[in-house]
Amino acid sequence: MSRIILINLVRFISLVFLQVFLLKNISLYSLSTPYLYILFILLLPFETPNVLLFFLSFILGLTIDAFYDTPGLHAASCVVLALVRVLFISVTVQKDGFDNEPEPTLSIMGFRWFFTYALILTLAHHFFLFNLEVFRFDELEYTLTRFLFSSIFTVFLMLVSGLIFFRRKERK
């Protein structure tokens, strides 16, 4: 149990550090900005209680908000991400027979499930984040373009990081 807490603490710190000091400065034609920090929420174990999940999501969002000077944007988006995660896992995990798996990583769940999981949750997070950031209809096309390209870039980075830390799944 303490090993899981330590792994997630290191994951939290490293993803926030990576987001704030490296990815914050990366922008492709000001249309695509990766938000890899949401990978922390995606990789939390399945048995994480919902109250703890929402609390950790809120703390992660507030931490990013402190560095980005966006009061509450990332915190609200992370809480929405946690809600979509709970709904997605409740629909897919029991149905697909992954009841006894510890966490939703690429190496454990497989490429197709993880790609769908990461894509849907990233789309939900980015859609909420960019619409909350702009909050008007006169820049709708630009907002949707940023939302789409940033989502693609973020999912691409998630898959690359998942493949870097890929471990062969061992069935018992």
pLDDT tens per residue, range 101-119: 678 888 788 889 899 999 9
Residue 98 pLDDT exceeds 70: no
Over the chain, what is the mean pLDDT? 88
Q: Please tell me the least confidently modeled range out of 77-91, 101-115, 153-167.
A: 101-115
Classify the C-alpha dihedral 44-57-154-124 as positive or negative: positive
Residue 27 lies in a domain: no
Per-residue pLDDT band at 64 (split at 50, 70, 90): very high
Domain residues for the domain of 131 are 2-16+32-164
Specify the number of domains making up the chain.
Answer: 1
How far apart CA 140 and CA 131 sit, in angstroms, is: 9
* pTM for the structure as a whole: 0.89
Residue 52 lies in a domain: yes
pLDDT at 172: 38
